[in-house]
Structure 1
Amino acid sequence: MTCWGQVICLLVRSDPDPQKRRFPFMNMDWAKKSPAALVGACLVLATLIFLFDLTTPRGVAGAAPYIALVLLGFWAPWWHFVYLLAGLASLFTVVDYYASADVGIPTWMVLFNRGLALLTVWLAAMFCSLIKKNEGKFRAAIDHASDGIVNFDPEGIIESFNQGAERIFGYAQGEIVGQSVGLLIPIAHNAVHEHLIANFPDRGIAGMINKVSLFQARHKNGKVFPIEVSVSPVRQGAHLSYIGILRDISERAEAEERIQILSRAIEQSPVSVVITDPQGIIEYVNAKFTETSGYAPVEVIGKNTNILKSLEAQPNQYQALWETISSGKEWRGTFQNVNKRGDPYWESAVVSPIRNAAGAITHYLSVKEDITERLATEKQLAHALKLEATGQLTSGIAHDFNNILTIISGNLQLLMDEDAIRENAELKEILADVLSAANDGAELVNRLLLLLRKSKPTASHVYVNRLLTNLRNLLARMLDKTIEVTVEVGKDVHTTFVDPYQLESAILNLAVNARDAMPAGGTLRIESSLKTVDAHTPTGNPVLRPGSYLAIKVSDTGAGMDAEVLSHVLEPFYTTKAEGKGTGLGLSMVHAFAKRSGGDVHIESSPGAGTAITLYLPESTPHGEEQKGRPAPDYLPTGNETILVVEDNPNVRRFAVRTLKNLGYQVVETDNSDAAVEVMTRGNPAIDLLFSDIVIPGKNNGFSLASWVKARDPNIRVLLTTGITPGLLDAQIDHDENFILLRKPYTLERLAFAVRERLNS
């Protein structure tokens, strides 16, 4: 073989893929399709070489078939066949050397020429083998890649499909190659996909080339899932195709969604969340932190947490916090911080370290709750519990004190009825002063107990003028000496149907507000009058229905209020007083009481002219004996019925028994419920009225004893008495109309009338 033949062979071998080799004027695809024809052609050429070398000058006639044999080796698609051809050519070279005629050409030249051609064939065989091995490694790498690799032409027809793509989409390579990539696209996205494929060679690839894009893909079973796609063009001569690398990101998308949910949960958390680095530099705060502290995230991120530290905070507390969390432990506690406005607030916090995979602390997480209101509530509750405990103690003391007052006032009345006292004016005056002091003591005890009253409001017919007159002395003592208190009552003012305790509380609230408006002193004036509203009365402030109303006007000579303050003065918690001097609930509670009672409140005020507040309450008409008027105080009703008195205080019992006997009644007395039951069971004498204290020794208290008596004989009347807190027993009294209560301290007159009324009922 000549050198030009070798050059031609090398040019032919420029394409390393045996399946792609071409002469410009020859097409050897038949070699791949018919291996037997290729083998036959090689044998024919080898025979011709042998015959030509025998019959012609050496190396001349045999060159043409030898070149053809070599070229077939280059075109052969099987590397082992190339080796076979090279071996045959080597054999023929040796045989030719001994069989061919000598024409004067040096032997070494012939052997060198033929050997060089054989070397070229052997190198081509080795190169083909190496390519096959590399192709195998490349195919194995592609097939075993975790990502899917899909090769498709510009029309979207799939040309190759690796094992990673098989795992991702569920299709085998044999059933997907030759199909459209549209099979891998969700049906809902088909229109977009078809448009993309139609414009892919021109414009579609521009937006995706060498870029990672997110798409929705479709599994063989129809499931839609997210994937990442990177597309690159591949050119092999005039042939253009595209290779797509795909990654199933379902697990990552789910993890990202969980992270987003966690992020939203932290951001929308009802408690403050702060994340810092190990030095306490803030890296993250949530929305609740901003709401509580007033700082926007950009104002605190990058700064130390000590910007929130209160000057009143204890340094050792923060030192203990850092020592705890630096050691890897969780810290729990409360501390006081300062918001952006400089206002202090209390937080309950849990601070814990955040560790990385190696166990090292990288951040600190602080979860904090604003407990300012809760602490204030707890403080109020503690105060309320303290008041309740004080109230229970006071109630018990008041019960005993009422017994003492009952003894004093009752026996004083009995003593003043003695003839010797009636005839001694000076002594009678002294006893009257003592009795007046006892009554004042009873009034003070009653007002003290009113502060402890916890029952629901109980309306009754209240004589307004009488209530205002009784309040005058209390207000004179309660207010500063620099304030003059005057009370003027109208002649036509009678009763209103309200809770007397709430009415008194409303008037006291108005009086306290008036006092606060006159720090340098002034005049507090309380007046009562009757106001009639009909259809012709102009509507406005106050808003009242047609009818008669009792007007209670409380006015002062204080600083007054401007229009702005007047527009808000009835709003709950609105106050113009200094912090700690008022709650802003006084006037709103008075207004609410008036509205519940069917009335209203009217306020008149201007700067420098004082304030006048008028409370309007519907007039009522009391029924029964109260409407007619009680008998004159010097008349006491009498009787001859038998009364069982149950009272554990011997002095009170002695006064009650002496009074009832003086009124003509037959009296049986005991100091405990067990003895009372024995008297009732014996039936001799027959009892007409049970008069019992509620708190008594024995198996039964006054209520249970009265219930037992009524169950035994419904005709027996019951009158109960007590000196404990008004209101605590209201629910039990109201539950049974047979239970009538005479409160201690009671006077001779009140006892006489109460007993007679009960016996006559």
Structure 2
Amino acid sequence: MPENQETDKSISLEEKDYRILLRDLPEGVGITDIEENLLYVNEAFAKMLGYTSEELTGRNVASLIPPDEKRTLKEETELRAAGRSSAYNLRMLNKNGEEIIVRVSGVPRRSKSGEVIGTMAVVIDITSGEKTEQMLRKLSRAVEQSPTSVVITDACGTIEYVNPKFTELTGYSESEAIGENPRVLKSGLTPEETYVELWKEITAGREWRGVFVNKKKNGDLYWEDAWISPIKQPNGAITHFVAVKQDISRRVEAERLLQYSLRDLELYSSFLQHDMRNDLQLLLNHIEASLMMVESRNPIHGYLETAEGVAERMVRLLDVFGRPGSEERNLEKILMKAKAQAEKAHSNLQARIEMKTKDPVFVSARLLPMVFDNLMRNSAEFAAKSVEVIVEVSIEEDTIVVLFTDSGPGISEEVKQNLFDKGASTTGGGYGLYLSRKVIQAYGGSMNLVQHNGEGAAFRITLPIA
């Protein structure tokens, strides 16, 4: 056989082998002309995009990518046209219009004369891996930018990572902390049992939460609320521990000051109960003796009765704090008592209680008498002459509604704007309505100024039924 025939046969076999190789490669392979028109794609490439090889042959690569990727394609094509290979990530569109991310490794395809006439490229789908990397980058940024301190240790407790918040809070730099044990922060004020329990829980594969009193690099103490969890391999083996810790020093200090304030308030209340009650009782005794010596027709008798009513009201306020658990919870009884006290203390006031429901009872009503005492006192004090107060009580679904109206001069538009603000009143400077609304809100209700037929003021109060 002539030598040239043997050579042609050898070349023919090589081309056939190459085609089989390209066809059966698990990676995608594409061959294009200089304008990126697909001349050949193997089955893996076509399957990657959801097409057949025949459907892709003749398509331009630009038609298979999102518009914002065309610049990348153009730059890489120009690079290969200049005779250089390139490798890059590219977003492509499958047959359903969904994006996938591929890794393209392309080399120039040359003619026999050496001229670049297109591209030969291997294309690998990296969508899953890229999404995982993107998620890891997001998680990394979240940890880096977290407002809480994050520490990761190995299974023996040696620090391998700290985030910027840790360094800001403790004063230890990243290089100073890595390689250390978290015990470098121990102040000696956290009970040793806390650490024993912590280590027992996390080495058993469970999460632990607790509070540490730790010490910064400069010696300052701070309080941390910590969550510590094990990091496990798929087989359950613990490789690391991660701690997420929040500085609660301000909260602890606020709670400490609150405890001091509550203690002082309790002592003050005790003194108030004892001293003021004695003084008021002495005053009531003198008023009662004076009433016995003054005829009822004498104008002084009326003044004494008013003074007696005011003093009794003060005793009643002291009683609110004097006998915990003994408060009246029946609204009708509360209102009737407030009416009697107000009419006795203010001779110009007449009150009428209209119960449109029977025996409404609250979960708690210890401070409620103060609200109605305050409203009736306001009605009496701001009325030039006599004033009538009407209190209507009804039920709307599971809510008690109290409509309090009076026949007084009403409230000006200017005052209405900040009527319930702290320090505001119908005369300027007061706490009555501000505190009254706070009491109602504390019981889960509401208190608002409302419009009503006629002159005077009207307040709508709602309270939950027990």
TM-score (norm 1): 0.39
Query: Judging changes above 3 Å, is the alpha-carbon distance between structure 1 residues 365 and 667 closer, same or farther for their aligned structure 2 residues?
Result: farther
Give the counterpart letter for 2:92 in structure 1.
A
1:374 to 239, 251, 254: 251
- CA positional deviation for 1:226: 2.8
- Check the 8 A contact 2:23/2:43 in 1, yes or no: no
Distance between the aligned counterparts of 2:240 and 2:40, measured in 1?
49
Aligned length: 341
Q: Deviation digits for residues 218-272 of structure 1, max 9, x if unmatched?
A: 4456555432111246789768874311123333333322222222222222321
Distance between the aligned counterparts of 2:164 and 2:208, measured in 1?
23
Q: Which residue of 2 aligns with 1:360?
A: 237
Distance between the aligned counterparts of 1:657 and 1:199, measured in 2?
109
Aligned counterparts, 1:694-705, within 5 A: 694=313, 695=315, 703-705=338-340
Query: Judging changes above 3 Å, is the alpha-carbon distance between structure 1 residues 702 and 401 closer, same or farther for their aligned structure 2 residues?
Result: farther
- Check the 8 A contact 2:83/2:108 in 1, yes or no: no
Query: Judging changes above 3 Å, is the alpha-carbon distance between structure 1 residues 715 and 704 closer, same or farther for their aligned structure 2 residues?
Result: closer
Q: Deviation digits for residues 282-305 of structure 1, max 9, x if unmatched?
A: 122223222321223232122221
Distance between the aligned counterparts of 1:154 and 1:295, measured in 2?
58
Q: Which residue of 1 aligns with 2:145?
A: 268
Query: Judging changes above 3 Å, is the alpha-carbon distance between structure 1 residues 388 and 192 closer, same or farther for their aligned structure 2 residues?
Result: closer
Q: Deviation digits for residues 306-327 of structure 1, max 9, x if unmatched?
A: 2211133333322222122112
- CA positional deviation for 1:381: 1.6
Q: In the alignment, is residue 706 of structure 1 matched against residue 347 of structure 2?
A: no
Q: Which residue of 2 aligns with 1:162?
A: 42
- CA positional deviation for 1:393: 2.4
Give the counterpart letter for 1:228 in structure 2.
R
- CA positional deviation for 1:15: 4.5
Please state which structure has a larger fraction of its residues in strand: 2
Q: Which residue of 2 aligns with 1:657?
A: 288
Distance between the aligned counterparts of 2:136 and 2:210, measured in 1?
29
2:55 to 169, 175, 178: 175
Q: Which residue of 2 aligns with 1:279?
A: 156
What CA RMSD, in Å, does the superposition of the two structures yield over aligned residues?
4.1
Q: Deviation digits for residues 137-183 of structure 1, max 9, x if unmatched?
A: 635522xx2x3211235554433211221123344322332444444
- CA positional deviation for 1:359: 1.1
- CA positional deviation for 1:343: 0.3
Q: Which residue of 2 aligns with 1:299?
A: 176
Aligned counterparts, 1:334-353, within 5 A: 334-353=211-230
SS of 2:105's equivalent in the other structure is strand
- Check the 8 A contact 2:305/2:344 in 1, yes or no: no
- Check the 8 A contact 1:353/1:361 in 2, yes or no: yes
Q: Which residue of 1 aligns with 2:378?
A: 735
Q: Deviation digits for residues 332-375 of structure 1, max 9, x if unmatched?
A: 11111111221011111111111011211011011111111111
SS of 1:322's equivalent in the other structure is helix
Give the counterpart letter for 1:735 in structure 2.
N
Aligned counterparts, 1:379-458, within 5 A: 379-403=256-280, 406=282
Distance between the aligned counterparts of 2:33 and 2:303, measured in 1?
117
SS of 1:366's equivalent in the other structure is strand
Unaligned runs of 5+ residues in structure 1 are: 1-5, 22-127, 408-651, 669-684, 717-727, 740-761
SS of 1:381's equivalent in the other structure is helix
Query: Judging changes above 3 Å, is the alpha-carbon distance between structure 1 residues 307 and 16 closer, same or farther for their aligned structure 2 residues?
Result: farther
- Check the 8 A contact 2:343/2:349 in 1, yes or no: no
Query: Judging changes above 3 Å, is the alpha-carbon distance between structure 1 residues 396 and 259 closer, same or farther for their aligned structure 2 residues?
Result: same
Give the counterpart letter for 2:151 in structure 1.
V
Give the counterpart letter for 2:275 in structure 1.
A
Distance between the aligned counterparts of 1:667 and 1:249, measured in 2?
103
- Check the 8 A contact 1:347/1:369 in 2, yes or no: yes
Aligned counterparts, 1:8-407, within 5 A: 8=2, 12-17=5-10, 20=11, 138=21, 141-142=24-25, 145=26, 147-153=27-33, 156-190=36-70, 193-194=73-74, 196-198=76-78, 200-205=80-85, 208=86, 212-220=87-95, 224-232=99-107, 242-403=119-280, 406=282
- Check the 8 A contact 1:328/1:361 in 2, yes or no: yes
- Check the 8 A contact 2:22/2:29 in 1, yes or no: no
Distance between the aligned counterparts of 1:179 and 1:251, measured in 2?
26
Distance between the aligned counterparts of 2:280 and 2:58, measured in 1?
110
Distance between the aligned counterparts of 1:248 and 1:187, measured in 2?
19
Distance between the aligned counterparts of 2:80 and 2:274, measured in 1?
98
- Check the 8 A contact 2:349/2:380 in 1, yes or no: no
Q: Deviation digits for residues 688-711 of structure 1, max 9, x if unmatched?
A: 945332236996797431335589
Distance between the aligned counterparts of 1:185 and 1:686, measured in 2?
96
- Check the 8 A contact 2:106/2:122 in 1, yes or no: yes
- Check the 8 A contact 2:150/2:166 in 1, yes or no: yes
SS of 2:246's equivalent in the other structure is strand
SS of 1:13's equivalent in the other structure is helix
- Check the 8 A contact 1:660/1:667 in 2, yes or no: no
Distance between the aligned counterparts of 2:250 and 2:273, measured in 1?
34
Query: Judging changes above 3 Å, is the alpha-carbon distance between structure 1 residues 703 and 227 closer, same or farther for their aligned structure 2 residues?
Result: same
Q: Deviation digits for residues 696-728 of structure 1, max 9, x if unmatched?
A: 699679743133558998489xxxxxxxxxxx9
SS of 2:47's equivalent in the other structure is helix
- Check the 8 A contact 1:158/1:178 in 2, yes or no: yes
Distance between the aligned counterparts of 1:305 and 1:294, measured in 2?
14
- Check the 8 A contact 1:330/1:350 in 2, yes or no: yes
Distance between the aligned counterparts of 1:189 and 1:381, measured in 2?
61
Distance between the aligned counterparts of 2:22 and 2:64, measured in 1?
22
Distance between the aligned counterparts of 1:351 and 1:216, measured in 2?
40
Distance between the aligned counterparts of 1:388 and 1:254, measured in 2?
59
- Check the 8 A contact 1:197/1:204 in 2, yes or no: no
Q: Which residue of 2 aligns with 1:538?
A: none
SS of 1:346's equivalent in the other structure is strand
Query: Judging changes above 3 Å, is the alpha-carbon distance between structure 1 residues 322 and 688 closer, same or farther for their aligned structure 2 residues?
Result: closer
Give the counterpart letter for 2:56 in structure 1.
I
Distance between the aligned counterparts of 2:238 and 2:103, measured in 1?
34
Unaligned runs of 5+ residues in structure 2 are: 320-327, 352-369, 383-466
Distance between the aligned counterparts of 2:142 and 2:56, measured in 1?
44
- Check the 8 A contact 1:232/1:244 in 2, yes or no: yes
Query: Judging changes above 3 Å, is the alpha-carbon distance between structure 1 residues 384 and 734 closer, same or farther for their aligned structure 2 residues?
Result: farther
SS of 1:317's equivalent in the other structure is helix
Distance between the aligned counterparts of 2:274 and 2:229, measured in 1?
53
- Check the 8 A contact 2:151/2:243 in 1, yes or no: yes
Q: Report the identity percentage.
A: 28
Distance between the aligned counterparts of 2:172 and 2:8, measured in 1?
71
Query: Judging changes above 3 Å, is the alpha-carbon distance between structure 1 residues 737 and 324 closer, same or farther for their aligned structure 2 residues?
Result: same
Query: Judging changes above 3 Å, is the alpha-carbon distance between structure 1 residues 249 and 657 closer, same or farther for their aligned structure 2 residues?
Result: same
SS of 1:665's equivalent in the other structure is coil
Distance between the aligned counterparts of 2:302 and 2:111, measured in 1?
129
Give the counterpart letter for 1:358 in structure 2.
N
Distance between the aligned counterparts of 1:252 and 1:216, measured in 2?
13
